[in-house]
Protein backbone atom coordinates (compact mmCIF):
# COMPACT_ATOMS: atom_id res chain seq x y z
CA UNK A 1 0.00 0.00 0.00
CA UNK A 2 1.57 3.25 -1.14
CA UNK A 3 1.02 6.36 0.89
CA UNK A 4 0.49 9.97 -0.04
CA UNK A 5 0.04 13.18 1.91
CA UNK A 6 -3.15 15.25 1.69
CA UNK A 7 -2.44 18.78 0.43
CA UNK A 8 -5.19 20.28 2.64
CA UNK A 9 -4.73 18.62 6.04
CA UNK A 10 -1.25 17.04 5.67
CA UNK A 11 -2.37 13.57 6.87
CA UNK A 12 -0.85 10.43 5.39
CA UNK A 13 -3.48 8.68 3.23
CA UNK A 14 -3.60 5.96 0.59
CA UNK A 15 -2.25 7.08 -2.77
CA UNK A 16 -5.28 5.76 -4.68
CA UNK A 17 -7.76 7.81 -2.60
CA UNK A 18 -9.68 10.45 -4.57
CA UNK A 19 -10.93 12.22 -1.42
CA UNK A 20 -9.12 12.57 1.89
CA UNK A 21 -10.90 10.51 4.55
CA UNK A 22 -9.97 13.10 7.22
CA UNK A 23 -10.99 16.41 5.67
CA UNK A 24 -12.91 15.45 2.52
CA UNK A 25 -10.68 17.45 0.16
CA UNK A 26 -9.00 16.37 -3.08
CA UNK A 27 -5.62 15.07 -1.83
CA UNK A 28 -3.73 16.37 -4.88
CA UNK A 29 -5.13 19.93 -5.15
CA UNK A 30 -6.45 20.46 -1.61
CA UNK A 31 -9.82 21.79 -2.92
CA UNK A 32 -12.94 20.74 -1.05
CA UNK A 33 -15.67 19.72 -3.48
CA UNK A 34 -19.33 20.57 -2.84
CA UNK A 35 -20.48 17.17 -1.61
CA UNK A 36 -24.12 18.27 -1.40
CA UNK A 37 -24.13 19.06 -5.14
CA UNK A 38 -22.47 15.72 -5.91
CA UNK A 39 -25.00 13.84 -3.82
CA UNK A 40 -27.90 15.68 -5.46
CA UNK A 41 -26.46 14.88 -8.87
CA UNK A 42 -25.87 11.21 -8.09
CA UNK A 43 -29.02 10.55 -6.06
CA UNK A 44 -31.73 12.55 -7.77
CA UNK A 45 -34.82 12.63 -5.61
CA UNK A 46 -37.97 11.74 -7.47
CA UNK A 47 -41.52 12.35 -6.41
CA UNK A 48 -43.48 9.22 -5.52
CA UNK A 49 -47.16 8.76 -4.88
CA UNK A 50 -48.34 7.20 -1.65
CA UNK A 51 -49.10 3.84 -3.26
CA UNK A 52 -45.65 3.75 -4.91
CA UNK A 53 -43.93 4.53 -1.63
CA UNK A 54 -45.87 1.78 0.17
CA UNK A 55 -45.01 -0.74 -2.55
CA UNK A 56 -41.37 0.34 -2.51
CA UNK A 57 -41.30 -0.05 1.28
CA UNK A 58 -42.86 -3.51 0.95
CA UNK A 59 -40.30 -4.55 -1.68
CA UNK A 60 -37.38 -3.58 0.53
CA UNK A 61 -38.84 -5.17 3.65
CA UNK A 62 -40.52 -8.31 2.36
CA UNK A 63 -39.86 -10.33 5.50
CA UNK A 64 -41.50 -7.77 7.77
CA UNK A 65 -44.49 -7.40 5.45
CA UNK A 66 -44.90 -11.18 5.25
CA UNK A 67 -44.67 -11.56 9.03
CA UNK A 68 -47.24 -8.81 9.60
CA UNK A 69 -49.56 -10.37 7.00
CA UNK A 70 -49.33 -13.79 8.63
CA UNK A 71 -49.94 -12.28 12.06
CA UNK A 72 -53.05 -10.48 10.79
CA UNK A 73 -54.36 -13.65 9.14
CA UNK A 74 -53.81 -15.56 12.40
CA UNK A 75 -55.64 -12.89 14.40
CA UNK A 76 -58.59 -12.92 11.99
CA UNK A 77 -58.84 -16.71 12.14
CA UNK A 78 -58.56 -16.66 15.94
CA UNK A 79 -61.34 -14.05 16.11
CA UNK A 80 -63.60 -16.14 13.86
CA UNK A 81 -62.92 -19.22 15.98
CA UNK A 82 -63.73 -17.29 19.16
CA UNK A 83 -66.96 -15.97 17.62
CA UNK A 84 -68.07 -19.46 16.56
CA UNK A 85 -67.19 -20.93 19.96
CA UNK A 86 -69.11 -18.26 21.85
CA UNK A 87 -72.10 -18.63 19.54
CA UNK A 88 -72.14 -22.40 19.97
CA UNK A 89 -71.97 -22.06 23.76
CA UNK A 90 -74.99 -19.73 23.73
CA UNK A 91 -77.03 -21.88 21.32
CA UNK A 92 -77.02 -25.05 23.44
CA UNK A 93 -80.45 -26.34 24.45
CA UNK A 94 -80.75 -27.50 28.04
CA UNK A 95 -83.47 -30.10 27.25
CA UNK A 96 -82.81 -33.78 26.57
CA UNK A 97 -81.45 -34.72 23.18
CA UNK A 98 -83.70 -36.45 20.64
CA UNK A 99 -82.06 -39.21 18.57
CA UNK A 100 -82.30 -38.77 14.81
CA UNK A 101 -83.91 -42.21 14.49
CA UNK A 102 -86.89 -40.92 16.47
CA UNK A 103 -87.23 -37.93 14.19
CA UNK A 104 -86.99 -39.78 10.86
CA UNK A 105 -88.37 -43.24 11.74
CA UNK A 106 -92.08 -43.67 10.98
CA UNK A 107 -92.21 -47.42 11.60
CA UNK A 108 -93.88 -47.00 15.00
CA UNK A 109 -96.63 -44.78 13.53
CA UNK A 110 -100.01 -46.33 12.74
CA UNK A 111 -100.58 -47.08 9.06
CA UNK A 112 -103.63 -44.77 8.84
CA UNK A 113 -101.65 -41.60 9.44
CA UNK A 114 -99.34 -42.20 6.46
CA UNK A 115 -100.68 -40.73 3.23
CA UNK A 116 -100.33 -42.96 0.18
CA UNK A 117 -98.26 -41.78 -2.76
CA UNK A 118 -100.49 -40.51 -5.59
CA UNK A 119 -100.34 -42.50 -8.82
CA UNK A 120 -97.87 -41.15 -11.34
CA UNK A 121 -98.37 -41.29 -15.10
CA UNK A 122 -95.41 -40.89 -17.40
CA UNK A 123 -95.52 -39.79 -21.02
CA UNK A 124 -92.46 -40.71 -22.99
CA UNK A 125 -91.92 -40.13 -26.72
CA UNK A 126 -88.40 -41.55 -26.95
CA UNK A 127 -86.57 -38.36 -25.99
CA UNK A 128 -85.58 -38.16 -22.32
CA UNK A 129 -85.41 -34.35 -22.56
CA UNK A 130 -89.14 -34.18 -23.39
CA UNK A 131 -90.33 -36.60 -20.68
CA UNK A 132 -93.18 -35.21 -18.61
CA UNK A 133 -94.60 -36.37 -15.31
CA UNK A 134 -98.17 -35.72 -14.30
CA UNK A 135 -99.60 -36.25 -10.85
CA UNK A 136 -103.24 -37.11 -11.28
CA UNK A 137 -105.45 -35.53 -8.66
CA UNK A 138 -109.18 -35.97 -8.34
CA UNK A 139 -110.96 -33.31 -10.41
CA UNK A 140 -107.79 -32.30 -12.36
CA UNK A 141 -108.18 -31.37 -16.03
CA UNK A 142 -105.47 -32.41 -18.47
CA UNK A 143 -103.88 -29.71 -20.67
CA UNK A 144 -105.35 -29.58 -24.21
CA UNK A 145 -102.13 -30.72 -25.92
CA UNK A 146 -101.97 -33.81 -23.73
CA UNK A 147 -105.66 -34.62 -24.09
CA UNK A 148 -105.44 -34.49 -27.93
CA UNK A 149 -102.53 -36.94 -28.26
CA UNK A 150 -103.18 -40.59 -27.52
CA UNK A 151 -100.86 -42.20 -24.99
CA UNK A 152 -98.05 -44.28 -26.53
CA UNK A 153 -98.38 -48.02 -26.57
CA UNK A 154 -96.74 -49.80 -23.70
CA UNK A 155 -93.58 -51.70 -24.70
CA UNK A 156 -93.76 -55.46 -24.73
CA UNK A 157 -92.40 -57.11 -21.56
CA UNK A 158 -88.99 -58.73 -21.96
CA UNK A 159 -88.97 -62.50 -22.44
CA UNK A 160 -88.40 -64.48 -19.21
CA UNK A 161 -84.85 -65.58 -18.56
CA UNK A 162 -84.19 -69.27 -18.61
CA UNK A 163 -82.34 -70.85 -15.77
CA UNK A 164 -78.94 -72.15 -16.71
CA UNK A 165 -78.55 -75.92 -16.52
CA UNK A 166 -75.48 -77.41 -14.96
Q: Mean pLDDT throughout 20-44?
A: 82
Provide the H-helix boundaries in the chain.
35-42, 50-60, 62-90, 100-104, 144-148
Annotated domain spans of the chain: 3-42, 50-89
pLDDT of amino acid 112? 64
> d(Cα 134, Cα 149) in Å, to the nearest integer?
15
What local confidence, expressed as pLDDT, does residue 97 receive?
A: 73
Pairing of strands 120-123, 12-14: unpaired
Structure confidence at residue 34 (pLDDT)? 81
Q: What is the mean pLDDT of residues 86-115?
A: 70
- Compute the average pLDDT of residues 58-79: 91
What is the number of helices (H) and of strands (E) in the chain? 5, 4
Q: How confident is the model at residue 3 (pLDDT cuts 50, 70, 90)?
A: confident
Q: In this predicted structure, what is the pLDDT of residue 109?
A: 66
Residue 65: predicted pLDDT:
85
Range of lowest pLDDT (76-80, 85-89, 122-126): 122-126
Question: For position 157, what pLDDT does the model report?
Answer: 65
Contact (CB, 8 A) for 28 and 8 = no
- ∠ CA 15-21-23, nearest 5°, is 115
Q: Which residue has the higher pLDDT, 3 or 49?
A: 3
Residue 128 has pLDDT above 60, yes or no: yes
Q: How much is the pLDDT for 18?
A: 85
Question: 38 or 149: which carries more pLDDT confidence?
Answer: 38
- For residue 93, pLDDT over 60 is answered with yes
Amino acid sequence: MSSAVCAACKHAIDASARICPYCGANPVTGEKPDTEAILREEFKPRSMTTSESVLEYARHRQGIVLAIGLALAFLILAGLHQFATMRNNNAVVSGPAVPLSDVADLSDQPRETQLPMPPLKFEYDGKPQAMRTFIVEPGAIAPPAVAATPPPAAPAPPPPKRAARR
